[in-house]
Structure 1
């Protein structure tokens, strides 16, 4: 592979990630012809086809998948090493790149961000919003971020996960709803209930659906939202009920017409950090992760 360059590998990884030469070209701010030339050079050097053409784009062949896996891991580690070297050169003036959902900072990181900035005034924080844990995993795999705050999923693959906070479930209802008077909700109370929920492909929705099904309960999710805050807003407007993780921000004077009724039979939802490798994190990224974990522990009283 004497003629293969890092640019060839980066372009190939972008094509596999986006599933189309044109989309990769847009992401890389170059022409589709240039993207094609990079891929052709790789194929010529390796002597095998790396991509299969489909009506809606391209997909890696078996050989392409092997290369993509290796390239993703290798480029991510190179990027991390370069950033660590740069941060050593700038002392504590580096950056921490975090990907997470739209409302995570407000619910879990507000105090930690203030604390971190006080301790490391020269450091910068870069937040990249993703709509799902899958998007966060992809950003990690591509080396685009250092840390991902996600709803944890079963362990597996190359991504390392670390639990930080366990969130019990509650049924969000308006204060005048008959269910608001109950001390707790049983899963059977949700049978045939019409609920506001996250998209079907979200990790939290999948886990919730599995746990309810194990209790023999199959509610109807007839309204879909992208985040829990929107679900809470719609409940407050009287559009239905929502099974949500219990967060302190949703109780008290800020939501006088909202009631969160515990559902103790459901296993708690676990949120926390995902990284490529903990031992490869920069000192700044590790410090930010630990700061968030510390403030979450204080918030939960642990």
Structure 2
């Protein structure tokens, strides 16, 4: 229903983003739907509020006056609502968490368990994505919190919250006839002919491997850890994954970890939130759970 409040808030979002398409994406609507609602508001006011530019839209004189009149009151309303939520708590609702696939196996489960046990009536939506997708989801407002490699965050739109460091290892088949001459301090992979099963291009872990100077042959690609482990267990190739992956999980596939001495493959995991949007209290609580669990992890 096109209530006055709804139309005015859509107008303010378009004015802020200077784009109908970006406003539609941010509001999780179609561009045609946003255009229709803007046309309804303009018809009610009898004045055009925007003019099209080469890069989007710009406010008309009437649009500027309307924005100036609305921003202060709407900001006060939103702050009052947030203050009430903060003071009295929120026990119901939905929180959207986007994470890179790897942390689902050794970090996020503890975070989710901690959060859900304290908020049993909250719906937690968990999305496993690539690093780039996690960043995009939080930027667009489609996720309230993200967990990602810090190297994937190259935007002032997001605020980062350091969690822990991840070191990589080589995951390979447990072969009875494997050579026993692996150094105690780990493998030197520099110059070695590596046949790897890995994530597709664009995933932060794959970029990490390549930026370290290794030049592996990727014999297969997969978008989930389970799919990668199945391929490695079938003898397709080895893989490079975080050392924090549980040994029990690897043993189920007949695999084990080998420490990598050189090059050093280590990256920091961070939580990311939108810098400009005031987070819901539930999202702040979820972030606090993530930070608490991260403090319990061993180096």
Q: Describe the superposition over 1:117-170 as per-residue Cα deviations: whole angstroms up to 9, x where unpaired.
A: 333344x14224253222222221222222101122255422111221211111
- SS of the equivalent of 2:129 reads coil
Residue aligning to 1:287? 285
Residue aligning to 1:68? none
Residue aligning to 2:215? 218
- SS of the equivalent of 2:141 reads coil
- SS of the equivalent of 1:226 reads coil
Q: Number of matched residues? A: 266
TM-score scaled by length of structure 2:
0.71
Residue aligning to 2:136? 138
Residue aligning to 1:107? 106
Q: Which runs of 5+ in 2 are unaligned?
A: 1-6, 43-47, 60-70
CA distance in 2, matches of 1:228, 1:151: 16
CA distance in 1, matches of 2:278, 2:291: 19
Q: Describe the superposition over 1:37-95 as per-residue Cα deviations: whole angstroms up to 9, x where unpaired.
A: 467899x5333325xxxxxxxxx45979xxxxxxxxx9xx9798687457347623144
Residue aligning to 1:197? 198
- SS of the equivalent of 2:201 reads coil
CA distance in 2, matches of 1:33, 1:248: 45
- SS of the equivalent of 1:145 reads coil
CA-atom RMSD in angstroms? 4.0
Contact 1:162 1:272 in 2 (8 A): yes
Residue aligning to 2:50? 46
For 1:70-219, list aligned pairs within 5 A.
84=82, 87-88=85-86, 91-95=89-93, 96-102=95-101, 104-122=103-121, 124-153=122-151, 155-176=154-175, 178=178, 182-183=182-183, 184-188=186-190, 190-191=192-193, 193-211=194-212, 213=213, 217-219=214-216
CA distance in 2, matches of 1:165, 1:92: 28
The question of 1:241 aligning with 2:220 is answered no
CA distance in 1, matches of 2:198, 2:250: 24
Residue aligning to 1:5? 8
Residue aligning to 1:267? 265
